Structure 1
């Protein structure tokens, strides 16, 4: 099941506000929520959290749903899936279709709570019956992938069609796949091509890649490498992994473009790195970023006495900079033990970039033993402080963990917070 994890902040803001509209129930005291909505619009997430928590436990389905979103995505608060689910459940009990849909998706994914196909379909169906196109798509996708049981493509086609008729571009593409493969509907390549074309015109990368493959194969249309090249290029420009790989093949073989082995290899590498579900690829892409707020020191120069003294006093920036020196042998002999110790102190002092660096070291198993639990814990704190890419890596780590492991990881997050005195 696709998730909305790792969304950029702007996209997440749109999701929160769209969810707010979907979450409202007749009993929701709209005026009471106005300050919280305003805080969300201005990205004052901590204030929004405080205002929403003041309304929690009352009769506002919207407040409960929005609290669930903040906790689920770790915005304005440390990510906490059990708390998020508790708010989603209360929102659903108060009549929120958005809360029920979110709970249903969690029951499908089975990452945070045990997978329950029957209950998942119940929640998802109830939400889809409200007429919301996104909820209809979510139900169709759950039916399409099978939920650990046999897939139900006929029902999936029905819900994809309803969502598509309301303009949901993902549903248009997915319905096209069913027509192309003849699953749940009679095979109709011409219908699939029409759907892919419509979604492609709206910029859907998956549709563009699928349509490009049809033109390359020339099975249901006349082969057209030039058109395929255009479609793959458009999808690849959006970072679509399959399109990057397909475009690489075009350059390697001169299909629709002059042979260019260097470009082919470049695209192949981009495709490898674009594996959004690959934690390894993501970690390689992120690397070990330096805090962009700081001036880059002359790493070849010897470590200054003033910096060393500041580190000995526990000054976080000095701890961070000298830690990097000792870890990399920059102006000093390599001393990994000292480097890790100083990075840990900077992280414990609340320096987000140090927390991210330490978490990345645990995720990669560099210098310290590989430990996704500790990686998740430290990177969660970095994400709370707004360190770029921290939320994306945090969610990718979560996707690798079992329910029990994730619970232990989130407990480790709380332990770190407690050790920092409630920071």
Structure 2
């Protein structure tokens, strides 16, 4: 039974895809699955993805694996990702590498799939490989991978690229990448951008970024905001933020509260 959305284009598409899929058109099985998934009918979408996958559709395999992973069926998801990856489907290679990493598979296996995807330009794989290299201290290897992924709008890549820029003395470029990551909503980038602004004397901008990050619950930003407020004479609001940081386990915020309490007891 077709559930109408009220959008003639979508409803007409679904009718067409159902007829074509029922007649055995593999591509339209995947397209029908996509329409159903967008409408929230994930079980029926999975059925069509599975039919397409079993007939050799790499897009069907990939979409089926995504649904299985969302449902917590990691082992079956990995099998479908691998089948698609073996057919040179780059997003499946990247997804398989990420899943294997989370399952603590041998690192050479993880990196092999990620490299295969990165070599054909998959930005997610480039980011993941860059992060692995960054964590291992291989900064020269990490930078071009993270830059490629950052250019494709991955905020995690932007943030880590900014860390590399800051650590290697390229402060202006670090600020640009922190700004891009912060504009994408990354709280830690907002805090680090605030630090750069404060260090360079742009206190109003620093407060704005500390506040935005603190409102996301970033412990460092909560402390930094409290510190800046106290430095600019707003001690009452500063104490409120230190108390919030202390409640979240921040030792620096606890120390500032204790110091304030000591002064008030004299």
TM-score by length of 2: 0.62
Give, in whole Å, the separation in 1 of the partners of 2:8 and 2:179. 32
In structure 1, distance between residues paired with 2:124 and 2:116: 12
Q: Which residue of 259, 281, 285 corresponds with 2:169?
A: 259
CA contact (8 A) 2:30 2:59 kept: no
Query: What does 1:2-401 correspond to in 2, within 5 Å?
Result: 80-109=9-38, 113=39, 115-146=40-71, 151-182=72-103, 187-218=105-136, 223-252=137-166, 254=167, 258-273=168-183
TM-aligned CA deviation for residue 209 of structure 1: 0.8
C-alpha change, 1:81 and 1:180, in structure 2 (3 Å) is: same
Task: Summarize the alignment of residues 398-409 of structure 1 with structure 2, pairs less than 5 Å apart.
Answer: none
Distance in 1 between the 2:89 and 2:14 partners?
26
Q: 1: distance between equivalents of 2:56 and 2:148?
A: 32
Asked if the contact 1:108–1:142 (Cα under 8 Å) also holds between the matched residues in 2, the reply is: no
Note the alpha carbon deviations across 1:341-385, whole angstroms, 9 max, x for none: xxxxxxxxxxxxxxxxxxxxxxxxxxxxxxxxxxxxxxxxxxxxx
- Residue number in structure 2 paired with 1:283: none
1:274 Cα shift?
Answer: 5.7
Aligned residue pairs, count: 179
Structure 1 CA distance, aligned partners of 2:13 and 2:75?
Answer: 33
Q: Is the CA contact (8 Å cut-off) linking 2:53 and 2:64 kept in structure 1?
A: yes
**Contact preservation (8 Å) 2:27, 2:57:** no
Could you tell me how far apart the structure 2 residues matched to 1:272 and 1:101 are? 36
Question: Which SS does the other structure have where 2:55 is aligned?
Answer: coil
* Structure 2: gaps (5+ residues): 1-6, 186-266
Q: Secondary structure of 1:166's match?
A: coil
Kept in 2, the 8 Å contact 1:216–1:224? The answer is yes
Q: How many angstroms apart in 2 are the aligned matches of 1:228 and 1:81?
A: 43
- For residue 226 of structure 1, report the CA deviation from its aligned partner: 1.1
**Separation in 2, partners of 1:96, 1:197:** 33
Deviation of 1:227 after TM superposition, in Å, equals 0.8
Instruction: Measure, in 2, the Cα distance between the counterparts of 1:174 and 1:197.
Output: 12
Q: Name the residue aligned to 2:189.
A: none
1:139 Cα offset (Å) = 1.1
Which string of whole-angstrom CA distances, capped at 9 and with x for unpartnered residues, describes residues 40-84 of structure 1?
Answer: xxxxxxxxxxxxxxxxxxxxxxxxxxxxxxxxxxxxxx9822222
- Distance change in 2, residues 1:88/1:269 (3 Å): farther
Q: Provide Cα deviations, 1:141-168, integer angstroms capped at 9, x if missing partner.
A: 111122xxxx211111111011001100
Deviation of 1:189 after TM superposition, in Å, equals: 1.9
CA change 1:272–1:93 in 2 (3 A) is farther
* 1:212/1:229 contact within 8 Å kept: yes
Q: Contact conserved, 2:68 with 2:76, CA < 8 A, in 1?
A: yes
